[in-house]
């Protein structure tokens, strides 16, 4: 057990998977010689050789298409999109081919796409998005959004083991900012099991990724006012832990759904609708959503701050819910 | 828990020839929760009486057709609202008390007959008490009512549904009347009126915490409601004869035992078949105003007479009895049967049948079996006059008369193709139709197509009768009390001796237009021979 950054946890986890399973290999733009845009695969080529750490041309289509073919041939590719935003270039291969292959032909496609996502550092509209809901909507894909170093490692191992295409959203803003204890030995974290990041009884915040920390900070402020807020980290969106959400709703009866993605059609809408469907009689207030406004992610730091939900925004929404 | 839309309860089509039905009894009152397929009300058509299962789940929001009213098939009888959604609410709670305070007064002063009403479902004469009584007090309390002290009882019935009021009031504006789903649910579960809880939410809204704290403090006030709700529901209509129902009425206990004694009604001879061999009712002394069930609710009558409308079944019986007598030339012949062999056979089989099949081989089953076999040789007894033609058949559909509710009303379910059944099958079939008749589970087809009928008034000790033929059949068999009598028999030397024998009188009432005296005599003789020399099973 050692304290590691979120980024180190991903890197170490990936290295461990490659050490234990010859079928696992890495491919992406600048993942080899350069060690990756964020240095997740630094030193990998020296350790595993260029044939297992492939520098690819500037084509997400080729990366995802090649991964799909390799998976069909029995390999376990882990492809890196330099930024999650660019996965849209590979939409057709991912959504039309990889997601449906198992359904059409019965052949599993065990690929993992590492998707550095999220904003908070003035990356602008092309390098800051959180497109998880687009893929959560596609049957055949799994969507994973770790928030802690431990989960980053455990969920990566599970993703590589999974026979389906898994989109692994790693939040850039957590890379070096978040540290935590991570077991040295290999372990897996199950999909579809939420994690209680903070216990509480008055209001529950359902969130994932970097917003877990925003929610936690806001909850801390309300704790000073004597209100106990629960923070539930979903960890994975497909599948997502309905039971944990409904249980928390039944206990707290007031709900805030929080995500960094834009609001309309965001995955929070799915959660809110599910709560309305299955826990209507548990509600003591309308389900509240806090999310980014429906706009591209702005570049200007002041605008980006206004765009991404901040601790103040969440605390204000929580206070309103508490007063309802 | 169900969410959904309102469901309408309509008068079902109980057979092709049925066009209307009468509401006999509502088993649920407005505000009560109902689950899918739960018995909701009882209806009466000219074919059968039956229960109507709930077509939906939720809360009975509104009753549109009252007990005693007759409406066409397809008419909307009631509305079921999804639970939690609001219903017409205060009504049920306020009404019963009102209706109730009336009833005891009216009756206690005159005669104690009243409570004897036991389960009897208040007849139709007096205006249906429940809904009628309520309107006056109810429409008023619009404005601030919620908070008032008189609400707790009322709303306890179903707090989740202050619909009409809630919707009407928001204009009043302080938001205080909005009840969130979770608060509505908790309030309903605990019988609490949210209006009585101090709200700390927005605009004074009662929050989940508020109501939980209120409940924890023990401040609930539902006691008044409990008894109120109960009388609305009791009315055990079904099990008349063999289960002397102890009257459930709590408050008006006094009256001497309201014996469910059936005997005083000689009018309806036919009597349930099976389970009543040892006449079960030990009527305590002369409880003269016997089956006076319904009347007591009415005000005292200056003339000493009471009127009540006939229900559909009574109307049907009246019409049919009259028409039968106008149609057939009724003649009754009787024969005495030594049942020794049958008694012995029954003793042998009783345990086995009970243990292995859960079926009681009643005397009626033996007689039915013997009669069905005998009909083979005397087909006109199982026949029919149809216009200018005489109809005979290769099958026997035996109608078995089953009496209902303290001798009031009877129904004749039919056992089809009885010729194919052995003794066990017949005993089981009789038990089945009798049970379904008493629990109102018969379908129209169950009471049609009979070719011959058996009625068994012997359970009361009667030794003779002249039943009326069920049209368009040709005959009806009556079975009477099995009693030990001194009887002249021959001993093994051919000497006459007097022996004690279990004797049963059996009558055949036949349509003399078709069946002659000699023909009926032949039938009875053969039937007796079968029973006296019983060697089957």
Angle, alpha carbons B141-B144-B148 (nearest 5°):
80
What average pLDDT score do residues B452-477 get?
92
How far A172 CA sits from the closest chain B CA (Å)?
40
* Residue with more model confidence, A22 or B300: A22
- Domain residue ranges in chain A: 2-182, 195-323
Contact call for A284 and B207, based on CB within 8 A: yes
Q: Does A285 touch chain B (CB under 8 A)?
A: yes
Which among B182, B202, B205 is the top mutation candidate for probing chain A, defined by the most A β-carbons within 10 Å of its own β-carbon?
B182
Residues B215 and B345 in one domain: no
For the stretch B248-276, pLDDT in tens is 333 443 444 444 444 443 344 444 444 43
Residue A84, φ and ψ in degrees, nearest 5: -55, -30
Tokens of B160: 């989740």
Please tell me the predicted confidence (pLDDT) of residue B2.
44
The residues of B that are catalytic are 512, 516
pLDDT at B329 over 70: yes
Please say whether the beta carbons of A115 and A85 come within 8 A: no
| Per-residue pLDDT at B289 | 41
d(CA A243, CA A253): 15
CB atoms near residue B251 (< 10 Å): 13
Examine the domain organization and report whether B69 and B107 are in the same domain.
no
Contact A324 B181 (CB under 8 A): no
Same domain, B67 and B188: no
Give the ipTM: 0.79
The catalytic position among A127, A171, A173, A259 is A127
- Flag whether B452 is in a domain: yes
The CA distance from B273 to B437, in Å, is 12
**Residue contact A285–B180, C-beta within 8 A:** yes
Q: Give B53's strand partners.
A: B39
Give yes or no for residue B237 having a pLDDT over 50. Answer: no
On whether residue B241 sits in a domain, the answer given is no
- Residue range B84-131, pLDDT digits in tens: 654 444 444 343 443 344 433 433 333 434 333 333 444 444 444 444
pLDDT tens-digit series, residues B422-440: 999 999 999 999 888 888 7
Q: Token digits for A255?
A: 């709900």
Residues B15, B21, B24, B27, CA torsion sign: positive
Of B2, B7, B8, B28, the C-alpha closest to B92 is: B28
Give the percent of chain A with pLDDT over 70.
Answer: 100
Handedness of CA B216, B190, B172, A318 (dihedral sign): positive
Q: Are B402 and B450 in contact (CB under 8 A)?
A: no
**Cα–Cα dist B342/B346, whole Å:** 6
Q: In Å, how far is B227's CA from the nearest CA of chain A? A: 28
Query: In which domain, by residue range, is B371 found?
Result: 313-532
Q: Are B181 and A280 within 8 A, CB to CB?
A: yes
Asked whether B77 and B12 are in contact (CB, 8 A), the reply is: no
Q: Which three-class secondary structure state does DSSP give residue A259?
A: strand
**What confidence tens digit (pLDDT) does each residue in B62-74 have?**
888 888 888 888 8
Q: How far apart (Å, rounded) are the C-alpha atoms in residues A29 and A81? A: 7
Strands A76-80 and A24-28: parallel
Do residues B348 and B495 both lie within one domain? yes
What pLDDT, on the 0 to 100 scale, is given for residue B536? Answer: 66
> pLDDT, tens digit, for every residue of A151-167?
999 999 999 999 999 99
d(CA A185, CA B480): 90
Q: Which residues contact B457 (CB under 8 A, 6 or more apart)?
A: B269, B270, B271, B465, B467, B478, B479, B480
CA distance A35 to A49: 13
User: Where is pLDDT greater, at B296 or A271?
Assistant: A271
Q: How far is A321 from chain B (nearest CA, A)?
A: 10
**Selected residue with higher pLDDT from B144 and B498:** B498
Asked whether the predicted pLDDT for residue B238 surpasses 60, the reply is: no
- The chain B residue lying nearest A250, using CA atoms, is B182
- The mean per-residue pLDDT over the stretch A96-117 comes to 96
Interface with chain A: mutation pick from B208, B209, B211, B213, highest number of A CBs within 10 Å: B208
For residue B338, tell me if it sits in a domain. yes
B330/B211 same-domain check: no
Residues B99 and B69 in one domain: no
Closest in A277, A281, A323 to B181, CB measured: A281
Name the residue among A283, A323, A324 with its Cβ closest to that of B181.
A283
Q: Are residues B353 and B483 in the same domain?
A: yes
Position B129 in a domain: yes
Residue B16 confidence (pLDDT): 55
Region B154-181: mean pLDDT is 47
> Do residues A198 and A297 touch, judged by C-beta distance below 8 A?
no
CATH code reported for the domain at A195-323: 3.40.50.920
- Predicted local confidence at residue B53, as pLDDT: 85
- How much is the CA Rg of chain A, to the nearest whole Å? 19
What is the pLDDT, as a whole number, of residue B104?
Answer: 39
**CB contacts < 8 A (A, B):** 31
CB contact under 8 A, B205 and A324: yes
**Considering Cα of B460, then B463, then B468, then B474, what sign does the dihedral take?**
positive
**Do residue B50 and residue B170 come from a single domain?**
no
Ranking A2-11, A57-66, B172-181, B196-205 by mean pLDDT, the lowest is B172-181
Task: Tell me the chain A residues in contact with residue B205 when contact means C-beta distances shorter than 8 Å.
Answer: 324
State which residue of chain A sits closest to B207, comparing Cα positions: A284
Edge-to-edge strand ranges of the sheet holding B496-511 = B330-338, B496-511, B475-490, B452-455, B398-400, B414-415
**Does B203 lie in the same domain as B172?**
yes
CB A161 within 8 A of CB A188: yes
Final residue belonging to a domain, choices B64, B81, B98: B81
Q: What percent of chain B has pLDDT over 90?
A: 33
Tokens of B230: 């109960």
For the record, the structure tokens of A79 come out as: 């492809």
> Which residue in A has a C-alpha nearest to residue B82's C-alpha?
A281
Q: Does A323 touch chain B (CB under 8 A)?
A: yes
Would you call B180 and A282 a contact, using CB atoms and an 8 Å cutoff?
A: no
A226 touches chain B (CB under 8 A): no
Q: Does A283 touch chain B (CB under 8 A)?
A: yes
Contact A324 B185 (CB under 8 A): no
Most B CBs within 10 A among A284, A288, A323, A324, hence the mutation to make, goes to: A284
Residue A37 has pLDDT above 90, yes or no: yes
Highest-confidence segment of B37-46, B229-238, B378-387: B378-387
Q: Does some domain include residue B99?
A: yes
A324 shares contact with chain B (CB less than 8 Å):
yes
Partners of A283 on chain B (C-beta within 8 Å) are 180-182
Residues in B whose CB is inside 8 Å of some CB of A read 1, 3, 84, 180-185, 201-202, 205, 207-208
Give yes or no for residue B36 having a pLDDT over 60: yes
Between helix B181-190 and helix B208-216 the angle, nearest 10°, is 20
State how many domains chain B has. Answer: 3
CB contact, 8 Å: A228 with chain B?
A: no
Nearest-by-CA chain A residue for B83:
A281
Inter-chain touch A281–B201, beta carbons under 8 Å: no
Per-residue pLDDT tens digits for A221-254: 999 889 999 999 999 999 999 999 999 999 999 9
- The lowest-confidence range among A32-36, A57-61, A265-269, B308-312 is B308-312
> Which residues does chain A have within 8 Å of residue B184's beta carbon, measured at their own beta carbons?
281
Residue A148 pLDDT greater than 50, yes or no? yes
Full-prediction pTM beyond 0.80? Answer: no
Structure confidence at residue B265 (pLDDT)? 37
**CB of A111 closer than 8 Å to CB of A77:** yes
Closest alpha carbon within chain A to B185? A281
Residue A104: is the preceding peptide bond cis (ω within 30°)? no
Name the residue with higher pLDDT: B10 or A271: A271
Q: How many CB atoms lie within 10 A of CB B491?
A: 9
Cα→Cα distances A308→A70, A86, A210, A269, Å: 38, 20, 11, 17
Query: Which of A251, A281, A286, A287 would best serve as a mutation to test chain B binding (most B beta carbons within 10 A)?
Result: A281
Rounded CA gap, B57 and B424, in Å?
A: 40
Alpha helices in B191-311 (DSSP H): 208-216, 225-232
Over residues A67-73, the mean pLDDT reads 97
**B326 pLDDT above the threshold of 90:** yes
If one counts every other C-beta atom within 10 angstroms of the C-beta of residue A272, the result is 19
Rg (CA), chain B: 29
Q: Which two tokens stand for residue B136?
A: 């006056």
- Contact between A284 and B183 using a beta-carbon 8 Å cutoff: yes
For residue B180, the chain A residues in CB contact (below 8 A) are 283-285
Q: Do residue B356 and residue B474 come from a single domain?
A: yes
CATH label, A2-182, candidates 3.40.50.720, 3.40.50.970, 3.30.300.20, 3.20.20.140: 3.40.50.970
Q: Are residues B419 and B321 in the same domain?
A: yes
Asked whether residue B184 falls in the same domain as residue B219, the answer is yes
Look at residue B346 and give its three-state secondary structure: helix
Instruction: Considering only the beta carbons, identify the residue of A277, A281, A323 that sits closest to B185.
Output: A281
CATH number at residue B480: 3.30.559.10
Nearest-angstrom CA–CA distance, B453 and B474: 9
Q: Which pair of tokens denotes residue B271?
A: 């009597």
Of B168 and B352, more confident:
B352
């Amino acid at each position: 057990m050692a304290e590691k950054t979120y980024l180190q946890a991903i890197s170490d986890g990936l290295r461990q998977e490659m050490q234990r399973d010859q079928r696992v290999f890495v491919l992406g733009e600048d993942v080899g010689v350069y060690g990756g845009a964020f240095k997740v695969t630094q030193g990998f080529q020296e350790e595993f050789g260029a044939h297992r750490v492939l520098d690819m041309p500037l084509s997400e289509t080729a990366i995802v298409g090649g991964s799909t073919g390799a998976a069909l041939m029995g390999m376990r590719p882990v492809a890196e999109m330099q930024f999650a935003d660019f996965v849209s270039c590979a939409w057709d291969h991912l959504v039309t081919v990889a997601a449906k292959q198992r359904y059409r032909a019965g052949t599993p496609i065990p690929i993992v796409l590492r998707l550095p996502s999220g904003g908070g550092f003035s990356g602008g509209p092309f390098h800051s998005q959180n497109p998880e809901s687009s893929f959560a909507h596609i049957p055949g894909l799994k969507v994973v959004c770790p928030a802690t170093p431990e989960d980053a490692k455990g969920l990566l191992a599970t993703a590589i083991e999974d026979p389906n295409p898994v989109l692994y959203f790693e939040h850039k803003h957590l890379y070096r900012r978040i540290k935590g204890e991570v077991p040295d030995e290999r372990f897996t974290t199950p999909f579809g099991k939420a994690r209680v990041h903070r216990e509480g009884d008055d209001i529950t915040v359902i969130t994932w990724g970097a917003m877990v920390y925003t929610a936690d900070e806001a909850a801390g402020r309300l704790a000073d006012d004597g209100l106990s807020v629960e923070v539930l980290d979903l960890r994975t969106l497909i599948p997502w832990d309905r039971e944990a959400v409904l249980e928390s709703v039944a206990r707290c009866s007031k709900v805030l759904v929080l995500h960094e993605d834009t609001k309309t059609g965001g995955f929070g809408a799915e959660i809110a609708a599910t709560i309305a469907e299955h826990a209507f009689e548990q509600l003591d207030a309308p389900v509240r959503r806090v999310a980014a406004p429906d706009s591209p992610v702005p570049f200007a730091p002041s605008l980006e701050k206004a765009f991404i939900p901040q601790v103040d925004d969440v605390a204000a929404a929580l206070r309103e819910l508490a007063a309802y | 828990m169900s969410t959904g839309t309102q469901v309408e309860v309509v008068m079902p089509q109980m057979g092709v020839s049925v066009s209307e039905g009468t509401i006999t009894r509502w088993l649920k009152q407005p505000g009560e929760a109902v689950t899918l397929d739960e018995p909701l009300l009882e209806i009466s058509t000219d074919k059968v009486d039956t229960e109507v299962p709930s077509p939906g789940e939720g809360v009975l929001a509104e009753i549109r057709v009252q007990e005693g009213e007759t409406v066409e098939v397809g008419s909307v009888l009631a509305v079921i609202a999804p639970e939690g959604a609001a219903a017409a609410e205060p009504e049920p709670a306020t009404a019963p008390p009102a209706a109730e305070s009336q009833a005891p007064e009216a009756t206690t002063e005159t005669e104690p007959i009243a409570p004897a009403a036991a389960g009897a479902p208040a007849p139709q004469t007096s205006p249906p008490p429940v809904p009628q009584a309520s309107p006056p007090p109810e429409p008023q309390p619009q404005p601030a009512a919620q908070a008032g002290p008189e609400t707790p009882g009322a709303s306890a019935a179903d707090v989740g549904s202050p619909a009409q009021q809630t919707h009407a009031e928001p204009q009043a504006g302080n938001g205080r009347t909005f009840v969130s789903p979770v608060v509505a649910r908790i309030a309903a579960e605990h019988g609490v009126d949210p209006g009585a809880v101090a709200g700390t939410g927005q605009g004074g809204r009662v929050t989940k915490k508020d109501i939980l704290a209120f409940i924890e403090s023990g401040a609930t006030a539902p006691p008044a409601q409990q008894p109120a709700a109960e009388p609305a529901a009791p009315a055990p209509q079904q099990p008349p004869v063999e289960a002397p129902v102890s009257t459930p009425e709590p408050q008006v206990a006094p009256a001497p035992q309201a014996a469910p004694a059936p005997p005083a009604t000689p009018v309806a001879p036919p009597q349930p078949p099976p389970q009543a061999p040892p006449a079960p009712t030990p009527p305590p002394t002369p409880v003269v105003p016997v089956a006076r069930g319904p009347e007591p609710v009415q005000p005292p009558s200056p003339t000493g007479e009471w009127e009540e409308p006939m229900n559909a079944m009574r109307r049907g019986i009246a019409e049919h009895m009259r028409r039968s007598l106008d149609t057939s030339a009724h003649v009754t012949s009787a024969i005495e049967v030594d049942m020794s062999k049958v008694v012995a056979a029954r003793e042998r089989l009783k345990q086995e049948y009970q243990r292995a099949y859960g079926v009681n081989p009643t005397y009626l089953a033996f007689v039915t079996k013997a009669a069905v076999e005998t009909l083979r040789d005397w087909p006109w007894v199982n026949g029919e006059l149809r216009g200018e033609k005489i109809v005979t058949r290769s099958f026997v559909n035996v109608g078995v008369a089953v009496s209902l509710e303290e001798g009031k009303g009877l129904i004749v379910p039919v056992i089809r193709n009885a010729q194919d059944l052995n003794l066990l099958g017949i005993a089981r079939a009789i038990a089945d139709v009798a049970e379904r008749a008493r629990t109102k589970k018969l379908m129209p087809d169950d009471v049609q197509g009979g070719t011959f009928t058996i009625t068994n008034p012997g359970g009361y000790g009667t030794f003779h009768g002249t039943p009326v033929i069920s049209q368009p059949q040709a005959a009806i068999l009556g079975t009477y009390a099995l009693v030990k009598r001194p009887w002249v028999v021959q001993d093994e030397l051919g000497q006459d001796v007097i022996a004690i024998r279990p004797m049963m009188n059996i009558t055949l009432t036949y349509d003399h237009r078709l069946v002659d005296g000699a023909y009926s005599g032949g039938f009875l003789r053969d039937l007796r021979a079968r029973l006296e020399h019983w060697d089957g099973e």
